[in-house]
Structure 1
């Protein structure tokens, strides 16, 4: 297939085009896509529709790739795909078709449309009577994946009735604990569904209740008129994606009226009463000139060097390829032709490969020349004395603590001069900085930043997270420091950590081992910096039940007078649980300035009390 991927579409025979498209689809369904959605939809699919309009990829639902065949289940109603749209005119045409159906039915009331996030996971059906879960399969028959439910899959929505939804992983959990090992949340979920033998990361994620089957009808989203939809299309689509705690790849727009839905019906591939709005920014096809491999704390990251290309208002010369597995899968290397986009983002990303090459992956660390090790999709340098790993760790620490001027070049110069630990850097004098080759002004500025870091109050969980321990980001650090302080964290055992919500056996063991290995550094930072025990009760408060926010769940939204980090930490210190989105369990939605309508509407729908920041301040002062 690599040869076909290198071949321009107009030179492919019909048979080759069909083989290539089938291959793309199979790889996507198995959780290992070799081209992006946009590349598939915008580069290859138009050619397929033009030359082979009756191809199964166009006319039928495509089954998920299943290697483990368990019980098969015939869906009571077909589980279909969703028609995709990229342009505003396509949404306008969809609305016109819905209105035509309403006219045919003699419906005079204004049609409303539901705008929900398109979750990027694995479609599934839940059968309430026997509590079983099946994949969408080919739309008619699905495969039993109830083993995920038995191992901790969480159901979001009404589980007392048969329901359909998407199996996905919490985006925050993926970013914090899985991103370094898995290329994409969908790959991770598809891999679990496709195997009876769960990997350690999968077992842990299920145990942590981070993998959810989200029923579509449980997603809270606005119902709006056609005029409002078309006038503010991008705004509503963006809100739907931002308000989702899961990874999305667009939004789903559907007409609400059940009679209209029934009248519009479906074909073998998709329902006519809904459409998926997807987006892709300005796209450019560029040649790769080479690959630069950057050594980081936990992995060696490939950066593509491309021909200088003007894209979305910027000259692009470098594009990250994320990890070595991506280089392998996409056939990236010197001479390869790829499609890239900025899509309104600062960092450009790869859409897909048009002409692939045989990739070359380093076998030794580019910095210390020690052999590399594969960890899932990434290659890593495991030599602790590697100077670039030391640079990355120090840079990460100062970045997380918001200490300026300690960028990669400055930290590299310090490491090259023998200052390879945080302890040594915090002890630097102006004279030592000058001896490292920094100018007088730069030495003064760096020294002042070190002193500022020592005296500025800093939240304890940021210090713990800044150590760069795998699976120990800010969220996990907060949970630990509800039960321990930095001063006594050395007393924490595997079992005690495992008893804290969100930590499983494997994660608990690896974190406690890493903390033990870094105890000297933790004690040094705790004694050197101005540490705030952010999650400990205020003086005079005897027990948690006496805290003013005890038992309350709070969501903060809009621009507050103080930073979101400070106000959230304060709420947790006073016994509250800070949520990222409004749920039925939310006690209060605290609003600042410039609040979006979506969270307000969500709170009203769920009966959540809405208060101002001033009201909140009165609560904690009472």
Structure 2
């Protein structure tokens, strides 16, 4: 029987690897999303039941879930050197002359590749299996982030073996990990809606994602990878770089399909000019071109300086800036009440688009730039994505100009604005009567990551709000009773109404964690909503939780806890929840709660602080709760124990010592639990309950974000460092 199970796991693993390759490398969907998800769920079930047969590079690793308490470092077998770079075409011609002299007039060719803004990565493959992923670091040593890179869906966990071009037994693939622009925009929109600081650019977002300790969170960031070279012991099995690029594609590695073989510096410059504007049509941030001598033997002849190769150079496009006139500052009110100033400009061509609006972020930036209406301002695209004002041409300032005065009342409802301590944004506190806030809350509730109501997109629900058909999330479920009235609206009709009614009915089956996210509580994103739902299981339990109790839930913390507790203390919000319950929306997790393993820790309260060796903090919390104990986030005289891990903050230790609270280690805590022979239930069985379930088991083909890059590996890009 075990042989059959092992064969079944192997067959499923190979089948899913093939489907991933077909989808991400060849844009071919051989099976439906549902069929793919069912196979992946079955593989995960078998691996859980028979872990001895699970493969390290199983497709289930795409989902993540591994906790890395701290990232070890590793030496690069081959140093990751930086490229010399230039902004000058004259320097490219000089580079060409140096290459020509170095090769003593021999014929040679270049490979030109687009350079995109990501995180340089070194991947080790042994016998075709991915065994290690290491960041560039200082070029000599980097962080080992293997569990995180395994979640990148277009990165092969095992290589395909082509009969005519076999991959080396041991090889190191160099490439770039990046965040697609559409994902970056969605992430920033979510952060803005939750009142969080916006990420500066896709590169920083990708770098930050790779340093997350929970690989499940990395999987949610939808990072992608492009390979641009590989190294192996001894001499390369290919004569040229262009041949190695083609081979990597044959092995299933994603390679930019925009590289070009050029036989002269004139052709190189033509490539540079072609992509100067064309690069802005791509769904990935790019900032230049990498030019390499194609022949590996000629590369060896040219050699290296102490910092970079003599046979390659990076040409970087100058940051595009425009000069235009600031006509007006418009103030927008978001879902959380944040009032954001937006500059309205005379149209100016910039980075492939015509810019008419630019971000000014907040009152602090207006003051720092000393912006005035009718100023001539300089505009750039931050990360070549978001237009922003970078300065003022003071020589063109009008004599009668006056500093911009930030409004003191809400531009939408005239409520006096407040500015919470430590925050940069002014906010409108009228969250129950300010029209833009109410409309934005509805749009958030019906959005794809929340209730995802078919037939009720942001535009439609905003229109219904303006017509007085809906006022909040609960009133959406009154729309079927107004079907006749809605059918008379322009661009609606009976079929649209039928779809809307069906979508509302289907939304009543959306899981509790997504409903909780859809409520739009400030700071509660998808991950926090999942953690809260798994921890409390019902909205009633969540309503009764104090801020201190909430702060003890993993991924929550003090600021979020205060926001959640305050939201549920509002009678209007409680009434909204009650009306949603009446409508039939899911406000509790389905299925049985995890069974208590014992009552050994009953009556005891713990604080967990620091990084632990044997278990993650989530696991330790689950263990404590499984044995009857409680976990809190603050130290008081009533606390039973402070469990101290590595890198625990000194303030907590000092306070515990002052209050005479016992400080114990992770080992001490585990010793308090029943032994395996004593316990009726394996303590870690609790982790198979909802608190540890992976919410998204599938790797469904992602719908196309654009014709040129449907969230797959086609597209373009290049490295931030050569090796």
**What TM-score do you get using the length of structure 1 for normalisation?**
0.48
Q: Which has the higher contact order (CA 8 A, sep 6+)?
A: 2
User: Which structure: larger Rg?
Assistant: 2
Instruction: Give the TM-score normalised by the residue count of structure 2.
Output: 0.42
